[in-house]
A = this chain, B = another copy of it.
Amino acid sequence: MAALPTVTDVALAAGVSRQTVSNVMNSPGIVRADTRERVEAAIAQLGYRPHASARRLRTRRSSTIGIRLDPMIDGISGSVLDRFLHALTEQADKRGLRVLLFTATSPEDEITQLQRLNDGADVDGFVLTSTFAGDPRTKWLIENGISFVTFGRPWGSNDMDDPQHLWVDVDGWAGLHQATRAAQEAGARRVGYIGWPSPSGTGEDRRRGWRDAMLERGDVSEDDLAALEVVTVDGVAEGTAAMQQLRRTVGILDAVLCASDSLALGAMIANPDRVPVTGYDNTPIAAAIGLSSVDQSVEEVAAGVLDLLTGEFNGRVHGSPESLEPRHRMVKPRLVLREFAAIPMDESA
């Protein structure tokens, strides 16, 4: 196998200098048209590909973004992050970026990994998922001036107006507001909600979407609302228990919304009256079972993340403080309505 051609080989073949070849690839505008064509022909003819590492060494940029592959959680909700990863990889590809994976066992370990990848010039920036209030990772990245964007707003102080970093998030409030509206428009009045305990910013956001839509309607009292809500940690069994509790306290329900598909799946199991149940995340399980769900449109999130990472801010907020460019993007989720075709367990074939 012949050695791979280098810029010098191409330059020789095209009768120009190395730098001109480099210019054709990186700033084609400054090369005269006929020269450019000649060089391009030589590139094609020799099958030349730039050596990525050599380029990185010189330019000090890698065109690669790092993302931590979270440990599998319960596997149902976890698939949202997998879908996001797919979308991110696809979108990154379109922009000539690569995605490098890494794992970590704890936030501290993750910081070590971030440092390793950054210092080794392996990546230009990071995408962080599953951020939480007071996340040590974002703090560290900011302090070290490293580019990054989070999927998830910085829950805490002044998220929106003066963010410490760039972020993209899905408007859970809007998702549940829309889902509640849809249920109401289908005739439901007693719309239950199974959600997560309060320290969760995400959970609180979704819960308020439901509450606000219910209160706007004006046909339920605060007391009714309290009865229509069950708080529980995430999980299928927990969803079943919550549903049973709701049915016990409320009696007849017109619809139930859940903070996740795991809970919704659980709820479906204790649902002999076939009350419409809506989940969150539009996971494969929702599609398989025929469960309405709020879809996070990970494609839009991925696009937003990359826009912020490669855009004017270049993944850093403290750089250009005067800019009017948005420093975050809020993605509207999409409600996917389904008939639960798959559920009739009691009818025989």
Interface residues of A (CB under 8 A from B): 1, 4, 47, 49-54, 56-57, 62, 64, 69, 71-72, 74-76, 78-79, 82-83, 85-86, 89-90, 93, 98-103, 115-116, 119-122, 144-145, 236-237, 240, 243-244, 247-248, 262, 265-266, 269-272, 283-285, 287-289, 341-349
Cβ of A248: which chain B residues have Cβ within 8 Å of it? 349
Contacts A71-B86, A79-B75 known; A53 to B121 CB distance under 8 Å? yes
Whether A103 lies near B120 (C-beta < 8 A) is no
Whether B285 lies near A262 (C-beta < 8 A) is no
Cβ of A345: which chain B residues have Cβ within 8 Å of it? 269, 271-272, 343, 345-346
Nearest-neighbour CB distance to chain B for A268, whole angstroms, equals 8
Contacts A51-B120, A76-B285, A86-B72 known; A344 to B269 CB distance under 8 Å? yes
Cβ of A262: which chain B residues have Cβ within 8 Å of it? 288
Whether A349 lies near B75 (C-beta < 8 A) is no
Contacts A57-B54, A101-B101, A349-B243 known; A49 to B120 CB distance under 8 Å? yes
Whether B284 lies near A74 (C-beta < 8 A) is yes
Can you give 24 contacting A-B residue pairs, CB < 8 Å?
A1-B144, A1-B145, A49-B120, A51-B120, A53-B53, A53-B57, A53-B122, A69-B86, A79-B82, A89-B101, A93-B102, A93-B103, A98-B122, A100-B100, A101-B101, A237-B341, A243-B349, A247-B349, A265-B288, A266-B342, A270-B349, A272-B346, A284-B285, A285-B285
Cβ of A93: which chain B residues have Cβ within 8 Å of it? 102-103
